[in-house]
Amino acid sequence: MKFLDLARVHIRSGGGGAGCVSFRREKFIEYGGPDGGDGGRGGDVWAEAVEGLNTLIDFRYQQHFFAKSGQHGMGSQMTGKSGDDIVLKVPVGTEILEEDEETAIADLTEQGQRVLLARGGNGGWGNLHFKTSTNRAPRKANPGQPGVERTIWLRLKLIADAGLVGLPNAGKSTFLATVSNARPKIADYPFTTLHPNLGVVGVDGREFVMADIPGLIEGASEGRGIGDRFLGHVERCAVLLHLVDGTSEDVASDARTILTELDAYSPVLMSKPRITALNKIDALDDETISERRAALEAELGETVHLMSSVARQGVTEVLRALWTKIAPTRQIRDDEPDAPWQP
């Protein structure tokens, strides 16, 4: 199944049915009076976050969603049938935006959340409603209200506790494969990862979700490479794991490149808690490890963990460091009272 995290959708709610102009005609009942029924209400268009979806691929093959219009009113005071609603089922973590791709309509972050995207038109009144003491045979009825038509964007941001960032070939996919059951493609060339991957990670009896996105390169915020397209998937993370390739000749410059691109993309990402790890230490001698770790700590001003995903060195310590940042957010989430979704 292909991964798709952005889709443009055209929606239209149903129009209301027209009211009916009718008069009661029955044997032995003279001047039966008006009995035109009301038109039915048009169907609404809803969006609902459901379990089991992790891509918007369904909206590549169908972009138009039109709800049914209400049925017209009929004689004998019969109201027309209301139109059926349409529900767009989207993955948890989907943002719904206006056509300008900037104005947010809703953010569906929990299973079962629903938001009304387009309300159906009300049905028109039949001539029965216009009967008065001075107008006993009205020949007037209202047309139904038209439906609402609009274009929206669906943008998926994966729900994860920790996010992996780094240059291409920093070892992000290898790390995810080592600590979880995820099986991302791994190869010795840049941009092996073409779409985000999720894995469930366990440490000390605790579990959390980790997201791996394609690698970033210098100029990513200006459109170079593909990693900037997926940075939104780590915006929801509680902590970022910044992997630096220990075999690089200038680890400090590599780390600064990533931080510069994060800051250019969004100050929110730059302000997130961050754990930095020097990866691939199994390919280095002790002296080189010490030199590059010192250079990295001097550049970043923070403690740098040593790790090798292949040799499984230092992996548990890194996972424990990640959990110390994730645990407080889990507590906040557990303490929040359940409340109905308000668009």
pLDDT digits (tens, 9 = 90+) for 109-165: 888 999 999 999 999 999 998 998 888 889 999 999 999 999 999 988 877 788 888
Q: How far apart are CA 21 and CA 38, in angstroms?
A: 9
Provide the pLDDT confidence category of residue 2 given band limits of 50, 70 and 90. Answer: low
Strands 149-156 and 162-165: unpaired
Residue 37 corresponds to which amino acid? Answer: G
Q: How far apart are CA 249 and CA 289, in angstroms?
A: 12
Architecture of domain 162-335: 3-Layer(aba) Sandwich (3.40)
Average pLDDT across the chain, whole number: 83
User: What per-residue confidence (pLDDT) applies to 176?
Assistant: 86
Q: Spell out the alpha helix ranges (H) of the chain.
A: 58-61, 172-179, 251-265, 267-270, 286-300, 315-335
pLDDT digits (tens, 9 = 90+) for 301-340: 888 889 888 888 888 998 998 888 888 877 655 554 444 4
The label of the residue with tokens 């303490």 reads 335
pLDDT digits (tens, 9 = 90+) for 50-80: 988 878 888 988 999 999 999 999 988 899 9
Q: How many residues does the chain have?
A: 343
User: What per-residue confidence (pLDDT) applies to 69?
Assistant: 94
Q: How far apart are CA 98 and CA 275, in angstroms?
A: 35
Q: Which of 98, 119, 120, 110 is nearest to 48 (CA)?
A: 110
Strands 206-212 and 86-91: unpaired
Domain residue limits, the chain: 1-156, 162-335
Show binding-site residues for GTP: 166-173, 191-195, 212-215, 279-282, 308-310
Buried b (16+ CB within 10 A) or exposed e, 133-160: eeeeebeebbbbbebbeeebbbbbbbbb
Show binding-site residues: 166-173, 191-195, 212-215, 279-282, 308-310
- What Rg, from alpha-carbon coordinates, does the chain have? 29
Angle at CA 103, nearest 5°, toward 101 and 107? 95
Show binding-site residues for Mg(2+): 173, 193
Task: Give this prediction's pTM.
Answer: 0.72
Provide the pLDDT confidence category of residue 1 given band limits of 50, 70 and 90. Answer: very low
Indicate the class that CATH gives domain 1-156: mainly beta
